[in-house]
Structure 1
Amino acid sequence: MKMKVMNSFETDFDVIIIGGSYAGLSAATSLGRALRRVLVIDSGKPCNLQTPHSHNFLTRDGETPAAITQIALEQLTMYDTVKLIFDTAIEATTKEDGFRIQTLSGKKYFGKKLLFATGIKDIMPDIPGFSECWGISVIHCPYCHGYEVRQQPTGILGNGDVGYEYVKLINNWTKDITLFTNGASTLSMEQVKQLKSRNIHIEENKVREIVHENGQAKGISLENDSIYLLNALYNRPAFIQHCDLPMKLGCDLTDAGYINVDSFGRTNISGIYAAGDNTTPMRAISMSVALGTAAGAFINKDLIDNNYI
């Protein structure tokens, strides 16, 4: 697929979008249709790189994330107002009338407004097989993947209140659940009572390995040499922001580690916006697309208002 690549002399834009996945491309479409000159800088490292299928996105249910991105890129070529470069933003500087961005290739660009659609980076636990299965059979969201493993032997890797609430959620999709606390349980006595009343087993031995074939989980091996056969494992790993430029520019994070934005996608720094997985735990393509579209519209409104000051 041939994408318009900007000429080297084109360096000034109304909006620079860092991150060319679903939120970024959606915002670019919204802004491009509003006749704004937009630059999208994408490093080509989406967090769902090895996820085989996407769900809950109307007209594209079951499609691969890569295929959805490909369609978005092809449709974005219709708009001469939008330019895309495959590069990595490594430095951002606040200027009096906007922001200067420098990329890994040494290029510098200026934008009146700045949108971060950079997502998050999952931190894989030190469990052999976990990263190989991540997004395939080690999953985080039942709304995204639960239907495909419904009523199948399922594990949940978690402990305490987080593990308990996770079990309650997943129990809607399957009754065959084992909660792996990966060490001594921190569940309350009442939580243990509730889980046992629903025939949910609690396993406190530490996890040694996720046994799998090409990312498809077959079971969990524990340090006491026992093995549980299962087809899916749920876990919400720790994460960090995929890009640290928002924090370097002074953007606040929530207690959970997401970029703190208002309902319009604005951060606490004037002229800087964020949208997508870096702002919300609702990690779905449909949500990222919606947030990107909204951010694009609000950025355009702010540009209009600024012109009338």
Structure 2
Amino acid sequence: MKQKNFDVIIIGGSYSGLSAAMSLGRSLRQILVIDSGLPCNRQTPHSHNFITQDGEKPAAISAKAKLQVDLYKTVHFYKGLAVKAIKKENGFEVSTESGEVFISRKILFASGVKDLFPKINGFTDCWGISVLHCPYCHGYEVKNEKTAIIANGEMAFEYAKLISNWTEDLRLCTNGKSELTLEQTQTLQKKGISIFEEEIYSFEHNYGYVSNIVFRNKEKIDVKAIYSKPPFEQHCSLPADLGCDINEQGLVKVDAMQKTSISGIYASGDCTTQMRSVAIAVSTGSFAGAVINKDLIDEDFA
């Protein structure tokens, strides 16, 4: 593209990035949104717990959002991957995989995270469809169904407590020797939650809709939904490359104003919070856009 200089480069063009782009476009800012087109919820058939969009397909929400943001003529889109960023005296230089270089005064990372799936046959196929991470996003749709949790230790105990709000037909799969304390084990058993310590081999499913968990000893349990919180990594390494602080959970550390530890760099959405939902991504993106615009105004008045 011909234009090379912008007020803000937004890396990540999903819900949070688009929300920030709208906020900044409405502030008459020259914006470049760089997006590789790989949102983490691309398999999820429906999005929930977002007013006016409850039950809508995630791809439909982002497509409609992009059409609306595109109406603001100072917002520009670049489909590709940002692979390098350098902090300069008066801003930043961002390079793409194809070799293009863009300049901006500020950068917003709305780049999300990449889930690291366990080596369980069928896990990837079911992710976002019947293998879920968030009961607030998807729990209502599988309420009172036969449900399993894959987790261990303290997280398993807390996860089981949480999910038991949506179903009493619940079992916990530790996928190996249980790390629960005796007290935790007894508490779960009193609540009727069975604990399975066998290693999991696969999920039997039909186009992502699970029917059975198959253990390595060939035993099975029938389920309609599974909750799991696999580990993740930042989808984009550039915040860390630029020196932004990363917290113990592997998230970009931001303050209450969505500012990172590096001046001029902001972050929003899933790359900054464990509360991964479309609604929160939109909220933090919109707020970040307003903060960035105010910072630009203050600099111009200095």
**Band of TM-score, shorter chain:** over 0.9
Matches of 1:33 and 1:226 in 2, distance apart? 58
1:77: how far off?
1.8
Q: Secondary structure at the match of 2:34?
A: strand
1:9: how far off?
2.5
Aligned to 1:79: 72
Aligned to 1:164: 157
Q: Secondary structure at the match of 1:74?
A: helix
Matches of 1:248 and 1:186 in 2, distance apart? 35
Q: Which amino acid aligns with 2:20?
A: A
Aligned to 1:56: 49
Matches of 2:112 and 2:185 in 1, distance apart? 35
Aligned to 2:193: 200
Matches of 1:183 and 1:27 in 2, distance apart? 43
Q: Identity of counterpart residues, as a percentage?
A: 52
> Please, what TM-score do these two structures have when normalized by structure 2?
0.99
User: What stretches of structure 1 move > 6 A for 4+ residues in a row?
Assistant: none
**Of 238, 242, 251, the match for 2:244:** 251
Q: Secondary structure at the match of 2:129?
A: coil
Matches of 1:164 and 1:9 in 2, distance apart? 55
Task: Verify: 1:99 aligned to 2:92, yes or no.
Answer: yes
Task: Verify: 1:219 aligned to 2:212, yes or no.
Answer: yes
Aligned to 2:272: 279
Task: Spell out the pairing of 1:26-41 with structure 2 (5 A cutoff).
Answer: 26-41=19-34
Matches of 1:186 and 1:106 in 2, distance apart? 49
Task: Verify: 1:66 aligned to 2:59, yes or no.
Answer: yes
Matches of 1:12 and 1:106 in 2, distance apart? 16
Number of aligned residues? 302
**Of 205, 219, 229, the match for 1:236:** 229
Q: Which amino acid aligns with 1:99?
A: F
- CA offsets per residue over residues 48-99 of structure 1, 9 Å max, x none? 1100000011111000000001110111121011011111101101111000
Matches of 1:145 and 1:216 in 2, distance apart? 14
Matches of 2:130 and 2:81 in 1, distance apart? 30
Q: Which amino acid aligns with 2:18?
A: L
- CA offsets per residue over residues 219-266 of structure 1, 9 Å max, x none? 100112210000011000000000001100000101111000001110
CA RMSD of aligned residues (A): 0.6
Where does structure 1 lack aligned partners over 5 or more consecutive residues?
1-7
- CA offsets per residue over residues 26-59 of structure 1, 9 Å max, x none? 0000000011110100100111110000001111
**Of 113, 116, 126, the match for 2:109:** 116
- CA offsets per residue over residues 262-301 of structure 1, 9 Å max, x none? 0111000000000000000111000000000000000001
Task: Verify: 1:269 aligned to 2:262, yes or no.
Answer: yes
Q: Which amino acid aligns with 2:35?
A: D
Matches of 1:100 and 1:198 in 2, distance apart? 56
Matches of 1:77 and 1:111 in 2, distance apart? 19
Q: Which amino acid aligns with 1:262?
A: D
1:136: how far off?
0.4
Matches of 2:2 and 2:132 in 1, distance apart? 44
Aligned to 2:37: 44
Task: Verify: 1:143 aligned to 2:141, yes or no.
Answer: no
Task: Verify: 1:186 aligned to 2:179, yes or no.
Answer: yes
Q: Secondary structure at the match of 1:282?
A: coil
Task: Verify: 1:12 aligned to 2:12, yes or no.
Answer: no
- CA offsets per residue over residues 74-130 of structure 1, 9 Å max, x none? 111210110111111011011110000111121110000000000000000011000
Q: Which amino acid aligns with 2:38?
A: K
Q: Which amino acid aligns with 1:308?
A: F
> Please, what TM-score do these two structures have when normalized by structure 1?
0.97
